[in-house]
Amino acid sequence: MIVQLKNVPIYLRDLGHGPQVLLFLHGWAMSSESWNTILPYFDLSRYRLLMPDVRGFARSGTPLKGYHIDDYMRDSVRLLRHLQVKKVTLIGHSFGGTGALYFSSRLPHLVNRVVVFATIPGAASRMVDPKTRQQFSHLLSLVQRTDPRRLSRLLLRIWRQAFAQAPSLTIRLAQEDAVAHAVPHAIEATLHTILDTDITAGLSRIKAPVLVIRGTEDPMLHENTDPLSTIPHYQRVLIPGSGHYPQIEKPRLVWQQLSKFLREQP
């Protein structure tokens, strides 16, 4: 369905009818289809899964401006209000994970739990390895130099390089569809958001339990220490043999950790 949130239309997949509501926030230049690999593990009588394409990506709107992390937080709040959801578990990957943590630090009363994959507190954080920031700066430079007609090809190549193992054909086709909708100004603006964001100061204000999942072979992140270590109630899990997309590359191992975390009492 399409949900109109003030000035931007948001494409939403709303699956299941269970009492536990989960809001999934996908990674940069991806789409809600990036969660497909772990969907079969969810009991839809127990969970309700809200999976939007966030603004600027895939089938959602691409306004000329409005790509600050606050804009993404407001979109999430407006979406929950539209659906009359009072409290939610946030699940975010990479760019979406940063947004999930920011939402949790600013509006803790709306959040039950948080799960983040391959996430940093923004590339402007001093907790983040300089190599990671350099990598995002390099991506911005590539995007700015690329002919708009070839942007989707560039984004697909960047996406493939962050896997530890080559993705399946089904997964590649879903990502090809996501980047086919790429709009240069939105892609560039969101990279600026990654580079300019630092939510480190707010991490200590997160009240909900947090599960941090990382792949041991992630080529995008270079941290020797955990940049999310100031979160009060968090667990950190490493998924062996996974790159930047643990939920895609190792869905069974991810589900083992995720299901246990979702069942735990607060």
pLDDT tens for the chain, 266 residues long, are 999 998 899 999 999 999 999 999 999 999 999 999 999 999 999 999 999 999 999 999 999 999 999 999 999 999 999 999 999 999 999 999 999 999 999 999 999 999 999 999 999 999 999 999 999 999 999 999 999 999 999 999 999 999 998 899 999 999 999 999 999 999 999 999 999 999 999 999 999 999 999 999 999 888 777 899 999 999 999 999 999 999 999 999 999 999 999 987 55
The residue with tokens 């590359």 is: 249
**How far is Cα 200 from Cα 218, in angstroms, rounded to an integer?**
21
Q: How far is CA 266 from CA 111, 205, 234, in A?
A: 12, 16, 12
**How far is Cα 240 from Cα 218, in angstroms, rounded to an integer?**
10
**How far is Cα 173 from Cα 48, in angstroms, rounded to an integer?**
26
**How far is Cα 257 from Cα 149, in angstroms, rounded to an integer?**
41
The letter for the amino acid at 1 is M
Instruction: Write the CB contacts of 161 (distance below 8 Å, at least 6 apart in sequence).
Output: 219
Q: Walk me through the domains of the chain, giving residue ranges and CATH numbers.
A: 2-263 (3.40.50.1820)
**183: number of CA atoms within 13 Å, CB side?**
16
Statement: the pTM of the whole predicted model exceeds 0.85: yes
